[in-house]
Amino acid sequence: MNAATNIAARLPELARERPDQIAIRCPGKPGAGGMAAYDVTLDYRTLNARSDAMAAGLATHGIGRGVRAVVMVRPSPEFFLLMFALFKNGAVPVLVDPGIDKRALKQCLDEAQPQAFIGIGLAHVARLVLRWCPGVKTLVTVGRRWGWGGTTLARVEAEGARAPQPMAVTDGEDVAAILFTSGSTGVPKGVVYRHRHFVGQVELLRAAFGMEPGGVDLPTFPPFALFDPALGLTSVIPDMDPTRPAKADPRKLHDAIARFGVTQLFGSPALMRVLADHGQPLAGVRRVTSAGAPVPPDVVARIRRLLPADAEFWTPYGATECLPVAVIEGRELESTRQATEAGAGTCVGRVVAPNQVRIIAIDDAPLADWSQVRELATGEVGEITVAGPTATDSYFNRPQATAAAKVREVLADGSTRVVHRMGDVGYFDAQGRLWFCGRKTQRLQTAHGPMYTEQVEPVFNALEGIARTALVGVGAAGQQRPVLCVELQPGCSDTPALRERLRREADTHPHTSRITQFLRHPSFPVDIRHNAKIGREKLAVWAATQVDTRV
């Protein structure tokens, strides 16, 4: 393979083809009414030239091919310049969600075994106080450096500008990055991304959504903005805390959409709800994508009403380990709403070619070889697996996790490939559409058979006054008792009538008829990354102490 097998390889081409197009636009100091000035921009010519300089400068400090470098930098021009510089060098950026539990964060950093640490001043203070990465050799500070040694990114760039170097010739099998999962349904794991995975993602996104150069994107999850330059888009970084999308100010998002002619935006279901509740038309937006968890049907319907009539609302299905796997457009998703609210699960659409998705019998044990797998027929609920260009093949320094999630398959021509077990359960319908029924680890194993969260919760979520629900199990596997945790809408009271409605609804559907215990909870725990995945494991622990408390 050649240098083109690198997500940064497209930058020099775009710098020649459209040098003056804005690649990245970031919030500046607040302007009138508290809105960001957005006076910090990088066009493609500048993004390419400055990342070249940073790449050369980093190399002089030993951050080159194969070197693992922790990156703890806020969404800013420096973040994007730095990431592309590391890709150009063939270095391996290590990204961890800064908002996860501090003990888990330290564990992630220890597992990554980085040789370099690049961060803002606050990240370096935390590194010293919390003893992150004690063996790291190279330190780079974004901003002012105090007394912890190393150098600054500004100095690195200045040094590199005097000594340019060619882009590293990366092979598709070379490790490109280590991206830690959010840990919302388990301990965070470092997903090993190879250059072919990133390049494959760009091509699948382009094909799945028809993305063309020249569009303007508002990606509210910063890592997704890294795909925009490879697609020839302008990326407008939102004025919000990316770790708290549920707390985003919708006025600031609308301000950016109107001011810069945003044509597409990405947001978690929590952010979609913020925009839906705000209720202002999303004028000019042609495409919306939402991922991270199933998007509630009422949110889909309300967002679609805010979009232009011919705009598209896409909900791609996938995970850090493999994205996108399948996609569904809002019109089709709305057409399946009735089935979802009757217990069918959530339709996540049709598989994105050339992915191959197969449903296998649920098994909690590792499966070393595909010959051990039993594939299921249409309509049967099992574990979702995927093989394709973006399916990653390992977790860094986690052999047991790798063994549990990856299956080796020998193909007809004698070659082998890795199949990823999504850890989700679902099925294919007669129309070839994939339905998501929940996480495998969150299924209930009762004396009467399994119960799946996404076949239960939407039934109750559709009731007036219910904000959301969470199905958890109390007791040992095989004898678990189903308990439905209930979060009420603001202003909704806990009344006997509400309790009776919940019980009546439970008796109406086969997937819910075994539920007799309802527990009111003030505010569900959610994941740090998208504020959308419910922490059912934590709720299960809480429910075990509350089994005599009824809604």
Nearest to 471 by CA among 491, 489, 450: 450
**Predicted TM-score (pTM) above 0.85:** yes
Give yes or no for a cis peptide into 324 (omega within 30° of 0).
yes
Classify residue 332 as exposed, middle or buried by CB count within 10 Å of its CB (0-12, 13-18, 19+).
middle
pLDDT digits 0-9 by tens, 14-54: 999 999 999 999 877 666 566 666 678 999 999 999 999 99
For residue 415, pLDDT beyond 80: yes
Could you tell me which of 43, 8, 482, 20 has the C-alpha nearest to residue 235? Answer: 43
Confidence of residue 494 (pLDDT cuts 50, 70, 90): confident
Q: Is the dihedral of CA 259, 262, 268, 274 positive or negative?
A: positive
Q: Which of 87, 81, 56 is nearest to 69 (CA)?
A: 87
> Is the CB of residue 269 less than 8 Å from the CB of residue 290?
yes
Within a 13 Å sphere around the CA of 58, how many CA atoms are in the beta-carbon half? 36
Give the whole-angstrom CA distance, residue 2 versus residue 195: 11
pLDDT, tens digit, 9 for 90 and up, residues 311-351: 999 999 999 999 999 999 999 999 999 999 999 999 999 99
Q: Which of 162, 160, 124 is nearest to 142 (CA)?
A: 124
- What whole-number distance in Å separates Cα of residue 183 and Cα of residue 543? 21
User: What string of H, E and C letters represents the secondary structure of 386-417?
Assistant: EECCCCCCCECCCHHHHHHHEEEEECCCCCEE
Map out the domains of the chain as residue ranges: 10-236, 338-438, 444-544
What value does the mean pLDDT of the chain take?
Answer: 91
Same fold, 10-236 and 444-544: no
Helix axes 44-60, 153-161, angle to 10 degrees: 100
Q: Which CATH architecture has domain 444-544?
A: 2-Layer Sandwich (3.30)
pLDDT of residue 548: 58
Q: Which CATH architecture has domain 10-236?
A: 3-Layer(aba) Sandwich (3.40)
SS3 of 68-128: EEEEECCCCHHHHHHHHHHHHHCCEEEECCCCCCHHHHHHHHHHHCCCEEEEEHHHHHHHH
Judged against a pLDDT cut of 90, whether residue 114 lies above it is answered with yes
Between the CA of residue 438 and those of 106, 307, 423, 514, what are the distances in Å? 29, 29, 9, 18
CATH number of 338-438: 2.30.38.10
CA-to-CA dists, residue 339 to 70, 292, 458, angstroms: 45, 22, 10
CB 330 within 8 A of CB 314: yes
pLDDT tens by residue, 230-278: 889 999 999 998 888 989 999 999 999 999 999 999 999 999 999 999 9
User: What's the CA gap between 246 and 271, in Å, rounded?
Assistant: 5
End-to-end alpha carbon distance in the chain: 61
- Residue 216's pLDDT is what? 95
